[in-house]
Amino acid sequence: MKHRWMVWPLAVGLILALTGCSSSDPKEKLVGTWSGQVDVMEQVVEGMRLTAPEIADELEMENFYIPLEMEFREDDTYTLTVDQEKLDQSVDQLIQKAVDATMVYMEQMLKDQGITNMTVDEALAQSGMDRESFTALMKESLGQLSSTVAEQIKTEGQYRADKEKLYTSDSTDTKPGDSQYTPYTLDGDSMTMDFSEQEMGQVTFTRGG
């Protein structure tokens, strides 16, 4: 009996050692679904300045988030997609803020021109529009933004990982090379990926969202 008690610590130690070895593969910690978001407000404003700088200056919106979802599978494939419903909400908010900014700009323009006997609504009416129809026009012009962004981001391919780099390919038929990788850190159910080269900075994902 005494010898059996001596064996138990050795057995437990061996099991723990084997468990530690089996979980050392970074892939095992990545497998699953992850959710995160990236703020591209700066890029939105820069793009707006090219076509409507006056509106960009009046745009009172601090963030424009693109909600991302990543799934790493056991078969070494991954997908990167957008949460379409949440993105649609962000685009709707952007449209409303753009409408508000346009109204502010038009009001200031009337003042600058010395027109004090006309409101913004009256100015719109002269163009055969009101705020509702103007908002509808903005939605029509930006209506494809959400689906376009989602289509551009959607990616699938193969992956492999070490403790600091996530290597990916752009096709499920192609293994990732050594040059296409993203630095990342993993802390339990939180993963931070460094997209600095894509000018998006660091993006934090949460397991399961």
- What 146-150 contacts at long range (C-beta under 8 Å, 24+ apart), as own/partner pairs, is 146/84, 146/87, 146/88, 146/91, 147/84, 149/66, 149/82, 149/87, 150/81, 150/82, 150/84, 150/87
Residue 11 within a domain: no
Model confidence band, residue 6 (pLDDT cutoffs 50, 70, 90): very low
Distance, C-alpha 122 to centroid of its chain:
40
What radius of gyration do the chain's Cα atoms show? 26
**What does the pLDDT read at residue 24?**
63
How many structural domains comprise the chain? 1
Closest Cα partner for 176 from 201, 197, 198, 159? 159
List residues bridging with 65 in a β-sheet: 39
Residue 147 within a domain: yes
Residue 13 within a domain: no
pLDDT digits (tens, 9 = 90+) for 42-92: 888 888 888 888 888 888 888 999 999 999 999 999 999 999 999 999 999
pLDDT digits (tens, 9 = 90+) for 86-145: 999 999 999 899 999 999 999 998 999 999 889 999 999 998 999 999 899 888 877 788
Residue 10 within a domain: no
Residue 20 within a domain: no
**What does the pLDDT read at residue 68?**
94
Q: Which domain holds residue 46?
A: 25-207
Residue 5 within a domain: no
C-alpha to C-alpha distance for 206 and 126, rounded to whole angstroms: 51
Residue 4 within a domain: no
Average pLDDT value over all residues in the chain: 84
